Structure 1
Amino acid sequence: MRRLIAVIQAIGFATYKEWAAFRSHMAASLLVGPVLFLVQVFIWQAMYDGKETLNGLTYSQMLAYFGVVTLIHYISFDFADWNLQMLVRSGKFVTFALRPLPHWLFAFSQKLGHRSLALWIEVLPVMALFIFVFGVNMKPAAPGWAILSIMLSFLMNFFINYCVGLTAFWLVRAEGVRRVFLLLKDVSAGVFIPLSFFPDALQKILFFLPFQFITYLPTRVYIGDYELAGIHLSLGEAVGLQAAAVAVAGVVTIALYGAALRRFTGVGV
């Protein structure tokens, strides 16, 4: 176990140093989040004109919602799907198939290093901007539950994206599938609009899909109140449900990875 942890740390630190050399590329994304947030401010100002609440959320809570959504996007951002499909398509995945460390763990280690750098280049500057420029209340209702939920969001996003990347073992050129799936994932995760704004029938479907655990649930936990499809959960219950979903996603990812490797070696025979 100590050796495994040391390997993960080494890969993460190497990725951190690699991206630190090109941190201006990452810093450019600082413009995107605030601009999109400003658009949300204009939209919801008009929506809340003459209203105190919408679907149980006040205007300040709505701004906090999209502020937290932006931060979660920066923290849990993942490129494992694109990277894995590129490796499979180019044939370079064979070098990883021969290594004792499974590629999914290598990719996760890379993400740890990449997002560690993002904490001070993207997350902290954007949070300061939201607080001091836009006046958004970014204080979590329950810091412990909020941090745990965001960590689980980090894992869930990786598992889902990696599973999308694994489709390359069957489709080879899966870019179209990847783009469509990621769009549906963002919609179903509550990135563009809180899931509680969807029709009741659709909310019931979204409740059982894994995508809400990436954005919607951790955002509502951060705000301090979870509700979807008429189901109200305490923060502990919501995070517990999220943890169970992440565990299932992890098992599915490892099982799918094993099936992909069997197909990969089968093609080479």
Structure 2
Amino acid sequence: MRAIGFATYKEWAAYRSHMAVSLLVGPVYFLVQFFIWSAVFQGTTSLNGFTLEQMLSYFGIAAVINYLTFDFADWNLQMLVRSGKFVTFALRPIPHWLFALAQKLGHRSLGFLIEFVPVSLIFLFIFGIKLWPTLPWWALLSVSLSFLMNFMVNYCVGLTAFWLVRAEGVRRVFLLLKDISAGLFVPLTFFPEWTQKALFFLPFQFITYVPTRVFIGHYELAGYSIGIPALVALQAGATAIMAFLMLALYRSAMRRFTGVGV
């Protein structure tokens, strides 16, 4: 895995300008959020338990966490299946999901240097967003679990290609719903109560909403207020369940897979 991760790091370093675009996209997206929420908060100091400062902190923290957990395993896997190139991975001595995870580790290691660090400094010194977590070690563990959860959810989406072959439409719709349900566009507490209860039992909140709340030091959803240690333990349990589901789906996909090649 270390060799695969290092090779991926060097490969993407040759095209690092692709990642450098994030130096513009991230701050511009945050600036849009700043204008939107400044208008929303006019005439009020608090909305759904958030002040304007807390809301901006939420989006700033969510943005930098996304740089650490970003994943494209779904696109890569579907491309391999559709082109027939997956057959070469089926013959290798390690399962493809482990290969893909090693690739993500290498890719995000480079992303940490090119995306995470510069954008964090922009948020800190230009926008004044405090990015130091209330409980650093719990935050680090939560982001690590988020890293794995995002990979496994996306990989499961990619595995649908073994049944659908051209699953681009399904992939786009699912990933949009995933981002909405993860709290990437708006905190989940802004949804109706019945929606919050449904989202509480789905794995998507553990990708963005939960690690962001761990950073802030307080969690609330669907009327539940959970302490940070208990919340991270719940996140670990959800990640373990997702790992079991991914491996089961992977084995089913391998039984279905047929391919030819040289």
TM-score (norm: length of structure 1): 0.95
- The 8 Å contact of residues 81 and 162 in structure 1, kept in 2 or not, is answered as yes
Correspondence for 1:248 among 217, 241, 245: 241
Q: Which residue of 2 aligns with 1:106?
A: 99
Shift of 1:55: 1.1
Q: Which residue of 2 aligns with 1:230?
A: 223
Shift of 1:46: 1.3
1:128 paired with 2:121, answer yes
Correspondence for 1:220 among 213, 216, 223: 213
Alignment of 1:89-168 (within 5 A): 89-168=82-161
Shift of 1:82: 0.3
Give the alignment's Cα RMSD to 1 decimal: 1.0
Shift of 1:56: 1.1
- The 8 Å contact of residues 60 and 137 in structure 1, kept in 2 or not, is answered as no
Q: Which amino acid aligns with 2:141?
A: L
Aligned length: 260
Where does structure 1 differ by over 4 angstroms across 4 or more consecutive aligned residues? none
1:208 paired with 2:217, answer no
- The 8 Å contact of residues 76 and 154 in structure 1, kept in 2 or not, is answered as yes
Q: Which residue of 2 aligns with 1:14?
A: 7
Correspondence for 2:166 among 168, 173, 195: 173
Q: How far apart, CA to CA, are the structure 2 residues paired with 1:203 and 1:65?
A: 18
Q: Which residue of 2 aligns with 1:199?
A: 192
Q: Secondary structure at the match of 1:227?
A: strand
CA distances 1:141-179 after superposition (whole Å, capped 9, x unpaired): 111111110111000000000000000000000000000
Correspondence for 1:31 among 24, 34, 41: 24
Q: Secondary structure at the match of 1:53?
A: coil
Q: How far apart, CA to CA, are the structure 2 residues paired with 1:16 and 1:27?
A: 15
TM-score (norm: length of structure 2): 0.97
Correspondence for 1:182 among 162, 171, 175: 175
Q: Which amino acid aligns with 2:47?
A: L
Unmatched segments (≥5 aa) in structure 1: 1-7
Q: How far apart, CA to CA, are the structure 2 residues paired with 1:188 and 1:239?
A: 18
Q: Which residue of 2 aligns with 1:51?
A: 44
Q: Which amino acid aligns with 1:190?
A: G
Unmatched segments (≥5 aa) in structure 2: none
| Percent of aligned positions that are identical | 68
- The 8 Å contact of residues 152 and 243 in structure 1, kept in 2 or not, is answered as yes
Shift of 1:139: 1.7
CA distances 1:35-93 after superposition (whole Å, capped 9, x unpaired): 11001111111122232221112221111100011111111111100000000001000
Q: Which amino acid aligns with 1:180?
A: V
Q: How far apart, CA to CA, are the structure 2 residues paired with 1:144 and 1:154?
A: 15
Q: Secondary structure at the match of 2:71?
A: coil
